Amino acid sequence: MSSLLSQHPSFSAVVDQFAQGRSTPRDFLELCIEAIDRAEPVVKAFVSTDLARARKLADESTARYRDGCPRSPIDGMPVGVKDIIETADLPTQMNSAIYQGYRPKVDSPAVRALLEGGGIPLGKTVTTEFAIGRSGPTTNPHNTAHTPGGSSSGSAAGVAAGMFAAAFGTQTQGSLIRPAGFCGAVGYKPTFGTLSTDGIHPLSRSHDHLGVIADSVDDAWWLARWVGEYAPTQDGPGLSGPIHGAPPACPLRRVAVLRTQGFDDLDAASLKAFEGVLAQLGALGVEVVEPDVDPALGALAQRLDPVPAMSLEMVAYDMRWPYMGYLSSSPEHLGPRIHALLEQARGISRERYRELLRYRADLRQRVAALGEAYDAFVLPSSSGPAPEGFEYTGARTLLVYGSFLGIPAYSLPVMTVGSMPFGLQLAGFAHADYRLTRHAQWLMREIRLGDGPTRMK
């Protein structure tokens, strides 16, 4: 299946050539279109495309580089847009019959920011139903008999196949980090609330994140940082750090292994791959701390064990709007998972929701208190490589912690199990995204990849 994987460099690796006249954004776009022609019939990453418009935008970007006036670091970057994010030029359908053919009047802030920065939206990428329900048709480019993960299925698979340099994804529980790990791409989930989720169909107001899946840490950071500058959320400080230039690598010195009960889901080969990365970190001089030697870390790990169930309660409660309305008007158009979550929501009281919020607030304080002692947390990006088949998009347990806490996280393609990618999750501290990005740069440079087709860029 290796012929389905990306066969061209990352955007950040060639963007300097645009200014030098040795290549152009149109040249790069044509490489992506070649990948679409080659892989899309099998990978099925897209719901819809507008390649004529993409070529027009690439030619305009080429002219700006020729004149020495690119608009931003993402000028000329081909980008996929997850199909729960509103776009004025293409339908936004949420993989739901309820929204079949729905055309928003305006772009979401994220897409508007992309266009203002000179980025090139190629089309809408496949999502699971409302980013939590039934799967779409997308396959994993590393092995098309395996799931690409959900819910940002098309975004992750399209990056891995070279159809675009980066893509917008969303994460409520594990919908961005997991598919990035399954497909051997870089996934970046920013601190909760730093990127606007306006114009994105809601799932859970307490959990929903906008993020990026990309070919490289540079590509992921540049896209997120630009969106955060042009279209920030109205609450909190947003993303900080330089807008231009690659984030310089910063060595990890001390990391905490977030070894919770979720590790019980790992098979022997996946656990061996993760332990191998920890051994490499130790050999590089990084102090790797386990929960059994740090009481504060151990207490945090134990307190995280009930989080997967708690998180799902909060998501179900939040889904009462607008999904109860969909249930009333179009029950036949909702999949069984959404029906089950809405039934669960009926039994959750307002006081129970407040209790969950208090528990989360306590956990956030515990995490923040560890910020002086550790550079980052490490844990797998999933419970193993992508499973075979498409009904099940993978366990969420190891991914939910970062979403529940709202801390930034990367999935980095530095492990393989057999012939399939297996991501490493590097999680940081709230509003320290740039610091975490620099650590991710260093880790990608220093960790040696095991056997397999996963790409390192």
* Cis before 322? omega within 30: yes
Cβ neighbours around 103 below 10 Å, total: 13
pLDDT (average), residues 442-457: 66
pLDDT tens digits, 408-441 = 999 999 999 999 999 999 999 999 999 999 999 9
pLDDT tens digits, 234-290 = 677 789 999 988 999 999 999 999 999 999 999 999 999 999 999 999 999 999 999
Cα–Cα distance, 47 to 31 (Å, whole number): 20
How many residues are recorded in the chain? 457
pLDDT tens digits, 9-57 = 999 999 999 999 999 999 999 999 999 999 999 999 999 999 999 999 9
Cα–Cα distance, 410 to 378 (Å, whole number): 10
Q: Starting at the edge strand that comes first in sequence, how are the strands of the sheet with 186-189 ordered?
A: 46-49, 120-125, 78-82, 166-171, 209-214, 186-189, 409-417, 420-427, 376-380, 254-257, 287-289
Q: How confident is the model at residue 450 (pLDDT cuts 50, 70, 90)?
A: low
**pLDDT on residue 1:** 46
Question: Under a CB-based contact definition with an 8 Å cutoff, are residues 427 and 379 in contact?
Answer: yes
Question: Under a CB-based contact definition with an 8 Å cutoff, are residues 289 and 260 in contact?
Answer: no
Cα–Cα distance, 242 to 392 (Å, whole number): 39
What are the structural domains of the chain? Answer: 2-250 (3.90.1300.10)
